[in-house]
Amino acid sequence: MRIGGDPKLYLALTLLGVAVPYAAFIPWIADNGLSPALFTQQAFETRIAAFAWLDVIVSALTVLVAATTTMRGARLAWIVAACFLVGVSAALPLFLYFLAKDSAKAAT
């Protein structure tokens, strides 16, 4: 699979995809501690919140399926880790980074 674009841009988006969600999550943890029950309750408290979370879950599954069909070894492990430790905001640009890096390498 080939993809255009500068791999450095995707890497920068990966870092942004880690920083932005954690900027909201770390203060929540500071206020509430690690409470999976409270997290789940608040995540699905309203229909719009449920919509957003279900969208993220389906997107994460899509990224994981795409990654497992195209990546192996350490690259796949990084994408899976990014997906479960951060979310799609980090896993997708990381996946695109690896694809763009391979495409740029093949073009030279």
Q: What is the pTM of this model?
A: 0.89
Is residue 16, in this structure, part of any structural domain at all? Answer: yes
Is residue 61, in this structure, part of any structural domain at all? Answer: yes
What is the separation, in whole angstroms, between the first and last Cα of the chain? 16
Separation between Cα atoms, residue 52 and residue 32, nearest integer Å: 21
Separation between Cα atoms, residue 33 and residue 38, nearest integer Å: 9
Per-residue pLDDT at 106:
80
Per-residue pLDDT at 1:
66
Q: Which domain holds residue 64?
A: 12-22+56-108
pLDDT of the chain along its 108 residues, tens only? 677 788 999 999 999 999 999 999 999 999 999 999 999 999 999 999 999 999 999 999 999 999 999 999 999 999 999 999 999 999 999 999 999 998 888 877
Is residue 94, in this structure, part of any structural domain at all? Answer: yes
Is residue 86, in this structure, part of any structural domain at all? Answer: yes
Structure tokens at 24: 């909201």
33: left (phi over 0), alpha (psi -120 to 50) or beta: left
Look up tokens 């951060």; give the residue.
Answer: 86
Structural domains of the chain, count: 1
Per-residue pLDDT at 11:
96
